[in-house]
Amino acid sequence: MSGYFITGTDTGVGKTMVTALLANLLQAQGRKVAAYKPAESGGRKEGEQYRSLDMEFVSKYTGLNQPASEMNSYCFKNAVSPHLAAEMAQEQIDLDLIQNHFNYLKTKYDLVLVEGAGGICVPICGTEVLIADLIKMLNLPLIVVTRPGLGTINHTVLTVKYAQNMGLTVKGVIINYAQDIVDTIVEKTNPKYIEQVAGVPILGIVPYINLPEQAAKLATPELYLRYEKILGNA
């Protein structure tokens, strides 16, 4: 096993935050870790190119010993789905380039954390190739990041079952508080219901982390993530 693919039930659920926490967790266990985002939409312009804000975040809060050039293959101006962002930029995402990039990272690092864009049904190359197809191509087990509140059971189960129907291995689910909310009975009971209905384990529950004031929390991922389940067979 060469890493994990981190997807979400939707955009904005906190995939990047979870990727950073996973990187810190795995590094603390002595693993040499790389982070990689094949395609990002809505990057930061630097000269004539765009830089991945998500991978900049991971670099800032993990201290990964990894050059920025290794962390992203495609970055586009417009914050839309990757296939549309590429179309608007008059570019074509080359899946072979992504595969080769990933293969290179596998030779250099123990584990590669690949962060997706949006959910697994988001198109990445035209409308024929979805994120789910990319995960299958890279042959990685999947970690699903989801919200804690109302509606998350449905979104999470749909994501898990679709992935499994595609022949993907779902390692489990991480619930992330992307917003500062007060728990109700919904948030308190959703984890057990997700495990029961989706049939996969909850790998962690990440509280709301107010950055940069609470950046120190990113250095203690073992408080939120169940490393024994995440690292099992890794």
**Catalytically active residues, by annotation:** 37
CB neighbour list of residue 169: distance below 8 Å, 6 or more residues apart = 141, 142
- What is the total residue count of the chain? 234
Query: In whole angstroms, what is the distance from residue 197 CA to residue 181 CA?
Result: 24
How many helices (H) and strands (E) in the chain?
A: 8, 11
Q: How far is CA 207 from CA 172, 183, 225, in A?
A: 18, 11, 11
CA distance 202 to 98: 29
Angle of helix 131-138 versus helix 152-165 axis, rounded to 10: 50
